[in-house]
Structure 1
Amino acid sequence: MIDYIVRSTKLPKTNIKSTIQLLNEDCTIPFISRYRKEATGNLDEVQIGEIVKYKEQFEALEKRKQAILKALEEQDVLTEELKQKIEQTQDLTTLEDLYLPYKKKRKTKAETARKNGLEPLAKIIMSQKANDIESIAYKYAKGDIASPDDALEGARHIIAEWINERADIRNLLRNQLERHAQISTKVVKAKKDEDKAQKFRDYFDWSESLSRIPSHRLLAILRAENEGFIRVKIEIDAIRALELMDNRIIRSQNSCADQIELAISDAYKRLLFPSLSNETLSKAKDKADEAAITVFAKNLKQLLLGSPIGEKRVLAIDPGFRTGCKIVCLDAQGNLKHNETIYPHAPKNDSIGAIKKISSLAEAYKIEAIAIGNGTASRETEALIRKIQFKNEIQVFVVSEAGASIYSASKIAREEFPNYDVTVRGSVSIGRRLQDPLAELVKIDAQSIGVGQYQHDVDQTKLQKQLDTVVENCVNAVGVNINSASTPLLSYVSGIGPKLAENIFNYRTENGVFKSRKDILKVPRLGGKAFEQSAAFLRIKGAKNPLDDSAVHPERYAIVKQMAKDEGVSLQELIGNKTKLQNIDLKHYVSDSIGLLTLQDIIKELEKPGLDIRETAKVFTFNQNIKTITDLHEGQLLPGIVNNITNFGCFVDVGIKESGLIHVSNLSDSFVKDVNEHVHLHQQIIVKVLEVDVARKRIQLKLHK
């Protein structure tokens, strides 16, 4: 396993070995990357994640090997040579090729030919020594075989199956497909004029190299095929492929060679090409899935680590026209204090009443910030808010609504607000997203947040696994206030999980707030291992021991206390004292149990204990003259917010319903390898309008430096 992971990751062998040992001891990725740096050689969570991935791949390969060996033993066909080949195989495709000749088959043409006694004839043909194979075939024309031609056809079916099962032939064709396959599409004429088909019209007649097609285009093509708008074909030069196969198999120029040539053609058309072209397309799809999942994961990380406004009192508005604007007032901890509906827009147009109501609520609940959802009627509501003369300064933010409706109808939302309907819950979610995006967004299925490309078309199991890892890493990077965190947020803390999160929440409800990290051990079923993995990620505000509100692990408290003693100050005086901390000779504290990397982390944390790694939210204002797509024209410079990133560019909200696209070619004057190196999610930027297609509702933008 270690060698397999070394080959796949190119990471040092000793570091991989130590990491696997820690994983086998039920340590989590966040814990290992943060608190076991000496053991891993300072590997980060991405590298440890790669080790986990290849460890699982290796285990799956070994499991498949054992299943195949067992099946071959039961068939009594397992030779020592075959067993050795299987055991030495490091690749699933090669393993399946080795097993293919022994796989139990459904009724095939070759199987029928064998039952009719044609295998000896097939062997004679494959020996390529007989000069008059037609005469020999007469002997086999009996029973169900009516003629020599039927006998030869049956023999060719057997030969075709042998050719199909040859690993060297399969690899030869794989190589041709991987290097030269073209993917082409044709529109289904009966569906060509349907409205839904128009978004795929670029692919009504398309052809491209499969090895070079960008991931987003392949996924779009496969979606169009799944929805029945186009037909997809994979093609290679069949004449060239057959020539290569002939050269590999045919060694004579007699009548046997003619039969083998026919068998090769049959094997290619009926068995090899259909199977291997599907395999190649499936591999291309896997690769495209991986690229799309990576994009989604990067976007999700940026979204989760979005800027919080912090513990401020918020008035949140879910805007609407006919149904009105749903308003909620939240205290600094996100608790719902008040809710009602106002109707400032058409058809009621009660803007005066709405302004009075918002003013009085802002004063009554000492509101410090207003969060407006970015859906229908968002711009109109923002314009209304900006007209109000508040007594105190109030910051106004437009907040993404993505997934708020999913949350409002979820079990979590019903449990939080059993006496309120979905509209109130949705408004609360908008307000809380401004206070702390991470704490709120973890309650929503990550796939519903809508910050990826083709996330519903990729392998859902792989996607879910990757997104769970991202959420876990983000939650643990920020840390969690154990006394205010929701059950979903607690469940992502290292070593906790859903059941212990529920136990923590219930314990807190019954016994009041946790006063120290030691109190965490009183939670039912939370044992020593869970405490070791989670304690440093759980923060306790205002604790007697200030280290309980820091990222310093409890196992290192004694060293910090020793440092304070050696410096002649109290623990409280040492924390935050940059001068004292930088004067400490860390080598003095290095031992078998703690190294320099961990000590450097401790000093860094003590300088700014509990510091939130996220930036503080900033107010942003769109161009107030731009209301719809028809207000845009070429050459305009506009403020915008990046609201989605893909491999082919990024989408930007310029304050209207439709988002504009900055294609990769318009992000920079030089080549763009990774869109994330130029922009990040929710970044405030200036864009230049290049093109506006009102009919297709498409806006082309350029990043203005």
Structure 2
Amino acid sequence: MTTLVEPDYAHGIALQLNMKKSQVSSAIQLFEQGNTIPFIARYRKEMTGELDENQLRDIQAQFHLQTTLYQRKCDVIRLLEEQGIFTDEQVEKQVTLAITAATTMAEVEDIYRPYRPKRKTRASVAKERGLEPLSAWFIQKERIHDDRETIVRYADQFVNVDLGIETAEEAMSGAADIIAEMIADDADTRSWLRQWTFAHGVLHSVATDAVVESVYEVYYAFEVLLHKILPHHILALNRGEREGFLRISITIQQEEVRSQLIQRHVATRYGQNSIEAQESWIWLWLTDVVVDAYKRLLAPSIEREIRNELTDRGEDRAIEIFGANLRNLLMQPPLRGKKVLGVDPAYRTGCKLAVVDDTGKLLETAVIYPTPPQNKVEAAKKTVLDMLKQYEIDLIAIGNGTASRETETFISQCVKEYQEQTARLVPYAIVSEAGASVYSASVLAGEEFPDLDVSERSAISIARRLQDPLAELVKIDPKSVGVGQYQHDVAQKKLDGQLSAVVESAVNQVGVDVNTASASLLSYVAGLNKTAVKNIVHYREENGRFTSRSKLAKVPRLGPKTLEQCVGFLRIPDGEEPLDATSIHPESYPAVHALLARFGGAKAIFANPQTHATVMQELRSMPIARLSDELGQGIPTVKDILDALERPGRDPREDVDPPLLRTDVLTVEDLEIGMVLTGTVRNVVDFGAFVDVGVKNDGLVHISQMADQFVKHPMDVVAVGDIVQVSVIQIDVQKGRLGLSMKSVAK
């Protein structure tokens, strides 16, 4: 039985990702021990050489690909043995060597293709009729010297009326089908043609017969070299084809391909390429077979494979951009300590209002009708003003969905009147309400607010998104947060995995207050599964707040390994142990306490800001290598410990610009070419960024307008949530389109 040697995964992955083998080996070992990526990235830096989360995920992905590839190779070897292919020792050696050397799944499948059981084909029918010996006879070298009569005379031996072969020509045709399939199944030929097509092929897109105005008009007469096509073009073309607007094809230089295939399967096979040979009957006959193999079998198959590979590239890029946008959205700074009025705009069904206190607790809900068709503006205004006064609202959050701008106009009028009456200015912000309806109808929302209507729950979600975007958005399916493109056109399992990893990363980077976090937020903490989260929530409900991280050990079924993974990301502000409010892992507590003891201990240091500043100044002045020796910790860990001690309870989101607050409204009619506005980046895509400048529709800053110099990708310049200054360069009132530019405009 043939056995493949399992490859050195760490060596191969290290070469591919340009890392040290020791780093990859350590990462793989940590994965296999059940450690999570956030835990490894944060608390095992010495073992991995300070690999970050992205690098660790790359290693994990490649490790999965390589182990899957190895398993498929083993499966193919087993299948070939079961089919009796390896009864020939020479074939076994040749195929095994080829499979061992294969570096991609496509190569393995190409090698297995000739032996894979097929559904009924023209070639399989010919084989059933006993024409395989005739096909083998045709491709012998000496046939180059035979004339047509000799060949027909030999083929006449295979005439069998009972098998449906009535003439020598029919026998020859069957043999040609067998040879054509053999050519189409040849691994080297497929590999060459795939690469050649990628390098030289052109993708064409034209409108279908039923041409109508659509978003796909730019692709009605479109062509691009395959190796230059952009990822977002791929997905747009796929969707246009699927919806019946486009016809797509791939073309290549037929003569060049024909020449190469003839050289491979005619000239090389007969061992000569003379003029005499090229004029022989068998040469011309086999040339026709090669052309048939290409047009009927190879070209459609390779085109499908290339289209699939292009789609995979497009999907990977779309998912990557979605993930980056989602992370930036989740990492928007919270506006803590603010009482917020959430407004979910609508027309016929009315605007839903929800007041939440500074902790996110619901205080009151209401419904008003300031927009068409009811237009009960005065009654609506009274309700809003009463709420602003009664609860001393600090901020207003307006959803950006249907009727958003009309509602914004109404709210801005309320804000002005309230300021005139009380001398208090209450600013408002436009908040993305993407996914709010999904949350409102969810089981989670039903459990949290069982007595409220679905529409009222969405207003609460909008208000809370302004207070703490991360805590609220984790309650929603990441696909529904509205910062991607073509998310419904990509492989959903792949998308779910990537977005979940992004949310997990953001949650663990920020850290979670174990006493106030929702079950949704806790579910993304490294190492915690649904059962562990449920038990933590149940324990704090039954026993009150956790006063120290050590109390987590009392939670049922929260074992040592799970606790090790999660505890560093769970925070306990104002607890018994000052270090519990930091990102320092309890495994480092003894060393940290020993260090701080010389300054009076952690409690004394954190209790006095002046003492804390003095101690940190002294610690920062000490050589890092000396501290590392004293603590018995690696230098990367010591650096993290010092950062955590210097800013206990630090929220990394505080370093990001706060959301843009407004007090007045703009309309498209207010805009003029050249006007400079301040706006919020709502979405970033391959071709630019969409910016909310306060009018009904977000404006587009095309990639060509993002900077005075060349921009490779919009994400090199802006991110979701950025506050930017833009100038108006195009206004299309009829289509509601707004063109913006960031050139020579300071961010």
- Per the normalisation by structure 2, the TM-score is 0.90
Q: Deviations over 1:680-705 (max 9, x none)?
A: 21222222222223444332211133
- Structure 1 counterpart SS, 2:337: coil
Q: Deviations over 1:109-150 (max 9, x none)?
A: 111112222222211211131212233222222332111211
Q: Which of 604, 617, 637 is residue 579 of structure 1 equivalent to?
A: 617
More divergent stretch after superposition (223-232 vs 584-593):
584-593
1:245 aligns with 2:261: yes
Which residue is 2:506 aligned to?
Answer: 474
In 2, the alpha carbon distance for the partners of 1:84 and 1:203 equals 45
In 2, the alpha carbon distance for the partners of 1:129 and 1:670 equals 66
Matched-pair contact (CA < 8 Å) for 1:690–1:700: yes
More divergent stretch after superposition (249-258 vs 506-515):
249-258
Which residue is 1:681 aligned to?
Answer: 720
Q: Deviations over 1:395-435 (max 9, x none)?
A: 43222111111111112111111111111110110111011
The one-letter code sitting in structure 2 at the alignment partner of 1:620 is: L
1:672 aligns with 2:688: no
Q: Which of 199, 204, 211 is residue 184 of structure 1 equivalent to?
A: 204
Matched-pair contact (CA < 8 Å) for 1:404–1:430: yes
1:504 aligns with 2:536: yes
More divergent stretch after superposition (81-90 vs 163-172):
81-90
Which residue is 2:667 aligned to?
Answer: 627
In 2, the alpha carbon distance for the partners of 1:421 and 1:153 equals 72
In 2, the alpha carbon distance for the partners of 1:384 and 1:371 equals 15
- Structure 2 counterpart SS, 1:139: helix
Matched-pair contact (CA < 8 Å) for 1:649–1:663: yes
Q: State the 1:551 CA deviation.
A: 0.3
In 2, the alpha carbon distance for the partners of 1:585 and 1:624 equals 54
- Structure 2 counterpart SS, 1:590: helix
In 2, the alpha carbon distance for the partners of 1:568 and 1:324 equals 61
Matched-pair contact (CA < 8 Å) for 1:343–1:349: yes
- List aligned pairs for 1:457-472, cutoff 5 A: 457-472=489-504
Change (3 A) 1:451 1:30: same
- Per the normalisation by structure 1, the TM-score is 0.95
Q: Deviations over 1:197-223 (max 9, x none)?
A: 511112122222121111111111110
- List aligned pairs for 1:650-665, cutoff 5 A: 650-665=689-704
Matched-pair contact (CA < 8 Å) for 2:131–2:158: yes
1:169 aligns with 2:189: yes
Q: Which of 708, 731, 736 is residue 692 of structure 1 equivalent to?
A: 731
Q: State the 1:621 CA deviation.
A: 5.2
In 2, the alpha carbon distance for the partners of 1:393 and 1:654 equals 21
Q: Deviations over 1:10-59 (max 9, x none)?
A: 11100111111111111111110011000000000000010000011011
The one-letter code sitting in structure 2 at the alignment partner of 1:664 is: I
- List aligned pairs for 1:349-428, cutoff 5 A: 349-375=375-401, 376=403, 377-387=406-416, 388-389=418-419, 390=422, 392=424, 394-428=426-460
Change (3 A) 1:658 1:359: closer
Matched-pair contact (CA < 8 Å) for 2:465–2:472: yes
More divergent stretch after superposition (631-640 vs 307-316):
631-640
Which residue is 2:219 aligned to?
Answer: 203
1:142 aligns with 2:160: yes
Q: State the 1:655 CA deviation.
A: 1.8
Q: State the 1:625 CA deviation.
A: 6.3
Q: Deviations over 1:490-512 (max 9, x none)?
A: 00000012221122112222221
Q: Deviations over 1:642-684 (max 9, x none)?
A: 1110011001112222221111001112111121221121222
Identity %: 39
The answer for unaligned runs of 5 or more in structure 2 is 1-8, 87-91, 271-276, 607-611
Matched-pair contact (CA < 8 Å) for 2:415–2:425: no
Q: State the 1:352 CA deviation.
A: 4.1
Which residue is 2:274 aligned to?
Answer: none
**Pairs aligned (count):** 700
The one-letter code sitting in structure 2 at the alignment partner of 1:200 is: Y
The one-letter code sitting in structure 1 at the alignment partner of 2:618 is: K
More divergent stretch after superposition (649-658 vs 590-599):
590-599
In 2, the alpha carbon distance for the partners of 1:213 and 1:487 equals 43
The one-letter code sitting in structure 2 at the alignment partner of 1:493 is: V
In 1, the alpha carbon distance for the partners of 2:626 and 2:400 equals 55
Change (3 A) 1:470 1:447: same
More divergent stretch after superposition (95-104 vs 508-517):
508-517
Q: Which of 343, 351, 359 is residue 325 of structure 1 equivalent to?
A: 351
In 2, the alpha carbon distance for the partners of 1:335 and 1:624 equals 28
CA-atom RMSD, angstroms?
A: 2.0
In 1, the alpha carbon distance for the partners of 2:515 and 2:237 equals 49
In 1, the alpha carbon distance for the partners of 2:345 and 2:173 equals 73
Q: Deviations over 1:155-186 (max 9, x none)?
A: 11111111112112112211221111111122
Change (3 A) 1:683 1:116: same
1:517 aligns with 2:543: no
Q: State the 1:81 CA deviation.
A: 3.4
In 2, the alpha carbon distance for the partners of 1:487 and 1:650 equals 34
Q: Which of 489, 503, 506 is residue 521 of structure 2 equivalent to?
A: 489
Matched-pair contact (CA < 8 Å) for 2:426–2:663: no
1:601 aligns with 2:630: no
Q: State the 1:519 CA deviation.
A: 1.2
In 1, the alpha carbon distance for the partners of 2:715 and 2:559 equals 41
Which residue is 1:648 aligned to?
Answer: 687
Which residue is 2:4 aligned to?
Answer: none
1:84 aligns with 2:123: no
Which residue is 2:289 aligned to?
Answer: 263
The one-letter code sitting in structure 2 at the alignment partner of 1:558 is: P
In 2, the alpha carbon distance for the partners of 1:226 and 1:653 equals 31
Matched-pair contact (CA < 8 Å) for 2:370–2:407: no
